[in-house]
């Protein structure tokens, strides 16, 4: 995956992503390859893939416990998270001069 696409998908600045990637590269979990122009393509190494598999199993246990705890309110919780993410994205893309005030659903900054 290109680094630019990954930073957008994770909603973090590229500089923060590069710092995190430097650690992952030092631990031999990620490698980068040259793409088109100045693009970097990121790939998991064998060690990174193994760690991902282990982490995914642990995440599944945690996710199941969370779903059991939330119970019937799960869909409401997911809807609220989706709304919070949309508001965060809107606020992140707002005009820094303050002249472009996004709709925040009654929540003030």
pLDDT for 28-76, tens place per residue? 999 988 877 777 788 899 999 999 999 999 999 998 898 888 888 888 8
* pLDDT score for 108: 52
| 3-state SS, one letter per residue, for the chain | CEHHHHHHHHCCCHHHHHHHHHHHHHCCCEEEEECCCCCEEEEECHHHHHHHHHHHHHHHHHHHHHHHHHHHHHHHHHHHHHHHHHHHHHHHCCCCCCCCCCCCCCCCC
Q: With left for phi above 0 and alpha for psi between -120 and 50, is residue 33 left, alpha or beta?
A: beta
- Predicted structure pTM score: 0.55
């Amino acid at each position: 995956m290109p680094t630019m696409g990954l930073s957008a998908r994770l909603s973090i600045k590229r500089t923060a992503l590069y710092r995190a990637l430097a650690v992952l590269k030092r631990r031999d979990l990620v490698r980068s390859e040259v793409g088109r122009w100045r693009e970097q393509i990121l790939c998991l190494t064998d060690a990174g893939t193994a760690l991902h598999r282990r982490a995914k199993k642990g995440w599944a246990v945690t996710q199941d416990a969370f779903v059991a705890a939330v119970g019937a309110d799960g869909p409401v919780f997911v809807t609220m998270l989706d709304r919070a993410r949309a508001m965060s994205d809107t606020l992140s893309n707002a005009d820094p001069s303050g002249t472009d005030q996004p709709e925040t659903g009654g929540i003030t900054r």
